[in-house]
Amino acid sequence: MHELSIAQSLLDIVIDEAARHGVQSLKRVGVKVGAFSAVVPDSLRFCWDLIIEDTPAAGSELAIEEVPLRGRCHACGARIDMSDPVFECPECGSADMELTQGQELMVAYIETED
C-alpha cells in the first residue's frame, strides 16, 4: 500500500516542523493531494490514523485538499481544465501544453492545539 509510505513521509515533515516551532500537540494537518498523484484520500487518512499514535501528531485530523488537474497552453496562454485527458488546446488547437497543477503531494498547513 503506497499510501502508507506517503503518510509516513508527510508525518516526518510534520514532526520536523512541530519540533522546530516547539509545538507539543497538533490538531489538524492540511495536505494537498493532486489528482495526478495517484493517492487515494481515504486510504491516506486511514494510514495517517495508524501511524500517528505516540507521535506529536497523535489525535490530529488529516485534512486532505484534492487538487484538480489543470494545464496551460504555451501557444495562446489559455488555462485548461485537464480532468479529462486533453491533447490539444481547446482554444487554439496547439499541442504545446503543460500541466500546471494536479501533481501536488505536500503539507499545506499545520494547526496546533492552543
Q: 62, 101, 60: which is closest to 83 by C-alpha?
A: 101
Out of 18, 73, 82, 110, the only residue in the binding site for Zn ion (CB under 5 A) is: 73
Our finding on whether 75 is near Zn ion (CB under 5 A) is yes
Kindly state the number of chain residues that form the binding site for Zn ion, as judged by CB under 5 A.
8
C-alpha cell at 74: 504555451
Nearer to Zn ion, 67 or 89 (CB): 89
CB contact at 8 A, 45 and 10: no
Nearer to Zn ion, 58 or 75 (CB): 75
Out of 4, 13, 78, 107, the only residue in the binding site for Zn ion (CB under 5 A) is: 78
Cα 61–chain centre separation? 15
C-alpha cell at 83: 480532468
- Number of other residues whose CB lies within 10 A of the CB of residue 83: 11
Our finding on whether 89 is near Zn ion (CB under 5 A) is yes
Q: How far is the CB of 89 from Zn ion (least distance, A)?
A: 3
Residues found near Zn ion in the complex (CB under 5 A) = 73, 75-76, 78, 89, 91-92, 94
